[in-house]
Structure formats: structure tokens, C-alpha cells
Amino acid sequence: MIIIFVSSEKSEELNMQKIRLNILGLSVSQTQSGAYALVLSEENGKRRIPIIIGPVEAQAIAIQLEELKPPRPLTHDLIKNIATAFNISLQEVSIYKLEEGIFYSELLCEMDGKQIRIDSRTSDAVALALRFHCPIFTTEKILKKAGIVLTHEEESPFSEAFEDILEEDEESALSYAQYSNEELQDLLNEAIQEEDYEKASIIRDEMNRRKREAP
């Protein structure tokens, strides 16, 4: 039997009113070289939470956002497969504490009618939430502390990074404009087999663009 003790401080944070978050997107971090910024948005509000994560975790999140299917299960896919095999479901992810710039999260899992809370890095928790299609929550305290509000007149701290990514994607996408839909599908399958998910993402964007513009 596994017994998990929750401190009084943590219990207080978890019992506060939960605020649901949505994944707004990923951006190249402007503060840390080689890192990425995961931006979460308040579901019924304008506040945003930027969280710095590593490239491996960013890839795990991006693959799921792009709905790409790797030929072999990645680490988070493996965790989901194991959980499913043992009838463990992930109910929700909670970002419950922010301390010295580090976000603390936990997974609320259910097995045989019992709920178990498991500590997790926020990047891993979000990657798993995408795979289990479960909600992500935080507290008002964290949103007040780390949330930023952007208006149309204000310049987003991530705008340059997003623009750089869009420009690179547009330039790369031009090289695929000459291919037919069937050829693009073959190139997409090839990129996924080679685990070149950046290339696969660009091809997928070109295919989606054609679908949107189709009469």
C-alpha cells in the first residue's frame, strides 16, 4: 500500500478555488538559450502564465498539439500506456505553488476508485494532460503572482519570438508549396518515421492551410 502525505501548506493551496488554464502555445525563450516558454492562458480571463521548459519537454508538448503520431512511443506516451494497462486514469493537473521562479505541479490520478496525488514537473504534467485529455488548474494566488495581461496596444514579451518562428515556418513552407497533397502526405509519414518532428510540423501546417483555403 502506498500512502502519500500532503503537508498542511500544500493542502491549503489545493483546496483554494481552482482556475482552469488552456495551452496558448510554445515560444523560444528570450531569457534562456536553448529553452522554450510554455504559455498557459486563464480560461475565462486575460491573464497568461509563461513557464520556461526544456527542449525535450517542449517537443513532447508540441507533438501532441500538432497531433503527430510518433512511430515509437515517447516517454510520456509510454507513461500513458502503462497507466492505461493498469486502469489508472489522470483526472487533472494542478499547478499549486510558485517558489523562486519554479512552478510546482501534481497529478491527480484515480485507480480502483481511489485518488492519488503525485508530484510532477509542470512540463511533464502538461505533456501528460494533453495525452489524457484532462484539465489543467492553478490558483488565484499564482495567477496574481505570475500572470501577465496583454492588451492589443501592448507588445507581447514573446511577440518577437513568435514572429521569428512564424517567419521561419513561412520560409520553410514555401519549399512544400510545389508538392501535391499525396506527396505531402508521403513526406509527412517519412518525417515522422525519421522522428523529425519539426519538419513534420511544417508539412502538417501546409496541409492544414490547404484544407482551410479549399472551396
Domain containing residue 31: CATH number? 3.10.690.10
Query: Rounded mean pLDDT of 54-63?
Result: 88
Nearest to 198 by CA among 165, 164, 174: 165
Query: Rounded mean pLDDT of 76-93?
Result: 96
The answer to whether residue 108 scores a pLDDT higher than 90 is: yes
Other CB atoms within 10 A of residue 61 CB: 23
Query: Rounded mean pLDDT of 186-193?
Result: 82
- The highest-confidence range among 44-58, 120-134, 194-208, by mean pLDDT, is 120-134
Give the CA distances from residue 182 to residues 47, 88, 177, 193, 195, in Å, rounded to whole numbers and listed in that order.
42, 39, 12, 17, 20
Q: Which of 136, 154, 172 is the last residue of a domain?
A: 154
The answer to whether residue 170 scores a pLDDT higher than 70 is: no
| DSSP letter, residue 110 | E
Q: Let me know whether 129 and 84 are in one domain.
A: yes
Task: Domain of residue 186: give its range.
Answer: 161-210
- When pLDDT is cut at 50, 70 and 90, the band that residue 25 belongs to is confident
Q: Packing angle between helix 122-132 and helix 75-85, nearest 10 degrees?
A: 60
Count of domains for the chain: 2
Decide if 185 is inside a domain: yes
Q: Which of 154, 183, 198 is the last residue of a domain?
A: 154
The answer to whether residue 154 scores a pLDDT higher than 70 is: no
